[in-house]
Amino acid sequence: MGLLEGKKAIITGGSRGIGRALCEIFAREGADIAFNYNVSDERAAATVDQIQSHGRQALSYKVSVTDRPGIIKMVREIHEKFGRIDILVNNAAINRGDMFATTTEKAWDEVMDTNVNGIFNVTKPVYKYMIRQRSGTILNMSSIGAIRSLPTAVHYATSKAAVIGFTKCLSREAASFGISVNAIAAGIFDTDLSDALPEKFLQLHELWCAKGRRGHPEELAEFAVFMVSDRNSYMNGEVITVDGGAVT
C-alpha cells in the first residue's frame, strides 16, 4: 500500500519540472492524478504516460491557472470523473529575470496573475468540494525567495510571500472543515525556473548550500508525498523549507 493509495489529486503545472515529479511520485504512491498545463502537449503526454505506468488514472487539461472560467470547468469535470478530490497541490508558477528598476507593469501583472490569482482560481472551486466532503489536503509551493534576501526578482518573491500568507490564513478556516493547508518553501531546484536565475548566483549557491548543488525535483516530490498523506495528520498552517541546507 502506497502513502496515497486510493487518493484523488489535482496538481497544477504538471507537465514539467517539479510538477511532473509530483505527478509521477504521487502516482507511484497510489493516487489518481489530474493536472493542468499551459504550453507543451508533448510534455503533458509524457506526464500522462508516467502516471499510467504506475497503474493510476491520469487526466490532463490544457488550461492556464489564470483562466478562471476554464479552471472552474476543469475542476468540475475532475470531480465528476474522480467522484471526489482529496489533494490539491498549487505548483504552477512563473518567473521573469527582471531587476525592479526595469520591471514593466506587464511583467509584474503576469507574475502576480499566475502565482497569486492562479492559486485563488484553482483553490476556490476545489475548496468547495472539500468542504462538502469534510476532508482534504492543500499543499502550496512557495519559495525561500519569499523569506530570505536573495537576488531573485521582486515580483516573484512578492508573489511567493503572498502564498505563505494565503496558506497560514486559510489553514485556520479550513481546519474546521477537516481540511489541512500547508506549504513548502522550496530552494533552488533543477528546473526551468532556476535556469532563469543569473549564472553567477547559481555558482554562489553551490557554496552557500550544504548539499553543494541544486535539488532534484524528485527530492521535493518525495517530501511532498508525506506532507499530503494521512500520516501527516497533525500539521496545519506550516511552511517547511526544503533547500539543501542553504545559508544566506
Mean pLDDT of 6-23: 97
What percentage of the chain's residues is helix, strand, coil (to nearest 5)? 50, 15, 35
Joined together, the cell numbers standing for residue 178 give 477537516
Q: Which of 56, 154, 192 is closest to 11 using CA atoms?
A: 56
Which alpha helices (DSSP H) does the chain contain, by range? 17-28, 41-52, 68-82, 105-112, 118-133, 154-175, 192-195, 199-208, 217-228
Q: Decide if 156 is catalytic.
A: yes
Mean pLDDT of 160-176: 98
Which of the residues 37, 127, 156, 234 is marked catalytic? 156
Please tell me whether residue 56 adopts helix, strand or coil conformation: coil
- Going by their DSSP bridges, the two strands 8-11 and 58-62 should be labelled as unpaired
Q: What are the structural domain ranges in the chain?
A: 8-188+217-242
pLDDT tens-place string over residues 99-149: 899 999 999 999 999 999 999 999 999 999 999 999 999 999 999 989 987
Q: How many CB atoms lie within 10 A of CB 210?
A: 9
Mean residue pLDDT across the chain? 94
Q: Which of 141, 136, 123 is closest to 187 using CA atoms?
A: 141
Q: At what angle do helices 68-82 and 118-133 cross, to 10 degrees?
A: 30
209 beta partners: 246
248 CB burial (10 A radius; 0-12, 13-18, 19+): exposed
Mean pLDDT of 233-239: 98
Buried b (16+ CB within 10 A) or exposed e, 102-112: eeeeebbeebb
Q: Which CATH class is domain 8-188+217-242?
A: alpha beta
pTM, entire model: 0.94
